[in-house]
Amino acid sequence: MKTAEDYINGQIILIDKPLHWTSFQAVNKMKYALINKVGLPKKFKIGHAGTLDPLASGLLLVCTGKFTKRITEFQGQAKEYTGTFFIGATTPSYDLETQIDQTFDTSHIDESLIQETVKQFLGEIDQKPPVFSAIKKDGIRLYEHARAGEYVEIASRKTTIHEFEITRIALPEVDFRVVCSKGTYIRSLAYDFGKAIHSGSHLIVLRRTKIGNYDVDNAIDITLFEQSLPH
């Protein structure tokens, strides 16, 4: 059983974040469980190495105590995601946070076109973050501009797709696995993929499965983490 001193000296805890939770909520719940059950001081350090959207599940790397200094190191590591694109429609947020705003023809799309298009996205690519994202422009987060109906010009940025494979095709759904660099938006990948196949696409399922050598298979549910702490 780990002691308060262990958590202050530094722990890396692999959490399988549930759907609909923010990453902040997950870390906060852990923090209060550690304060109340292990007796950690209220100001002890805890943080995560890379935000997951509420509509995504999967691996959240949580660092405590002295290991919070390593968060930047973990954030820089490659990440693996699995999920599902919905082909033939787009949404303003590029995922299920907003309603479908446009529909597109899909009659020309077949497996060979999908597999061929994947190749366009391998290696270094230019990508525009979604307008519904937490990036700041003029001191205001992009999603605040978007929700207020304000148009904001977003600069594209370089990102790297190390691996991109299609694991299931059952149109309009297409399942994928992606290994990518820090700063890659899978929602933007969904949108750009739809354009590349002369249609539209948005993200309907997303799960982070790896960060560097850390695997979600070794992660624990937040409730189980709480239950594992001494009473």
Which string of DSSP letters, residue by residue, matches 62-97? EEEGGGGGGHHHHHTS-EEEEEEEEETEE-TTSSTT
- Which residue is catalytic, options 16, 53, 95, 192? 53
Distances (CA, A) of 15 to 79, 100, 131, 224: 15, 32, 28, 10
Pick the closest to residue 82 from 193, 171, 190 (CA basis): 190
Q: Which residues of 39-75 are buried (b: 16+ CB within 10 A; e: fewer)?
A: ebeeebbbebbbebbbbbbbbbbbbbbebbeebeebb
How far is it, in rounded angstroms, from Cα 174 to Cα 205?
A: 10
Pick the closest to residue 194 from 97, 55, 95 (CA basis): 95
**Run of H or E residues at 176:** strand 173-180
State yes or no: is 53 an active-site residue.
Answer: yes
- Gyration radius (Cα) of the chain, Å: 19
**Looking at the annotation, which residues are catalytic?**
53
